Amino acid sequence: MSAVTAAEAGFLSCHACGLVHRAPGAGHDLRCARCGAALHLRKPNSIARSWALLIAAYVLIVPANVLPVMAVTSLGQTEADTIMSGVIYFLTHGSWPLAVIIFTASVFVPMMKLAILTFLLISVHRRSSWRPVDRTRLYRLTEAIGRWSMVDIYVVTITVALVRLGNLATIEAGWGAVFFAAVVVITILAAESFDPRLIWDHCDARST
């Protein structure tokens, strides 16, 4: 049994509606015959775009962790918490399940996602043919876990709402939360820009 990729057979499909077209020579500005979307064999500038977004995420993750995520004012005293100091607070005050949720959602998952995308980009850059199935699985994993990293923003929002209701203290979301949300969104865009078919291009070339 031999499988042929669409690119090898001279076909390309529309990203928007899926209609398959016969590919003419390179260098054409192609449009889908059915829906008018731009056609390309691989996402254009996939690697450069993913790198740019990934580097932006690495830069923004610093203020996201250093700046306070929220500030609580109670009895005239203001206490600002970063992500890690929040985790430590919940750990020392016996709410370890909350500490685990916040650590997983705001430290572990975003870091894992950045690490996986960096690894995939380097492997494609080096034209690696190492375990393409596993690398494709890793890519699917980043898409699957990505949606859970926004949990942290919900935790901040719910805490703010609860404390406001109780009137015991004033609580405000800090700049750290803004940077954190930016990291999450930019990482999602970086994963979106990466074309997982690039993983297979070098492997297919070797096997034929």
CB of 33 to Zn ion, least distance (A): 8
How many residues contact Zn ion, by CB under 5 A?
8
For Zn ion, which residue of 16, 59, 161, 205 counts as binding (CB under 5 A)? 16
Sign of CA dihedral 194, 114, 200, 143: negative
- Kindly write out the interface string for residues 22-41 of this chain, putting x where it contacts Zn ion by CB under 5 A and - elsewhere: ----------x-xx-x----
Instruction: Tell me whether residue 205 is exposed, middle or buried, using C-beta atoms within 10 angstroms of its C-beta: 0 to 12, 13 to 18, 19 or more.
Output: exposed
Confirm if 117 and 194 have CB atoms less than 8 A apart.
yes
Q: Tell me how far apart the alpha carbons of residues 101 and 86 are, in angstroms, rounded to a whole number.
A: 11
Closer CB to Zn ion, 39 or 64, in the complex: 39
| Nearest distance in Å: CB 38, Zn ion | 9
Minimal distance in Å, beta carbon 115 to Zn ion? 35
Only segment of 14-22, 99-107, 138-146, 150-158 that touches Zn ion (CB under 5 A): 14-22
Q: Which two tokens stand for residue 152?
A: 């942290």
The nearer residue to Zn ion, 14 or 83, going by C-beta atoms, is 14
Separation in Å, CA 106 to CA 8, 17, 41, 85, 90: 42, 35, 36, 12, 14
Q: Smallest gap, in angstroms, from Cβ of residue 25 to Zn ion?
A: 20
Cβ proximity to Zn ion: between 15 and 147 the closer is: 15
| List 4, 8, 9, 17, residue binding Zn ion (CB under 5 A) | 17
Q: In sequence order, what are the residues at sequence separation of 6 or more whose Cβ sits closer than 8 angstroms to the Cβ of residue 80?
A: 68, 70, 71, 72, 174
Give min distance, CB of 19 to Zn ion, in A: 5
Task: Considering the complex, state which of residue 14 and residue 186 has its C-beta at the smaller distance from Zn ion.
Answer: 14
Could you tell me the two tokens for 92? 């020392």
CA distances from 10 to 29, 38, 45, 46, 128 (A): 16, 17, 20, 20, 24
Q: Residue 16 or residue 62: which is nearer to Zn ion going by CB? A: 16
To which residue do tokens 């690490």 refer? 115
* Sole residue written with tokens 């997982």: 196
Which residue, 17 or 141, is less far from Zn ion as judged by CB?
17
Amino acid at 38: A
Query: Does 14 sit near Zn ion (CB under 5 A)?
Result: yes
**Interface ranges with Zn ion (CB under 5 A):** 14, 16-17, 19, 32, 34-35, 37
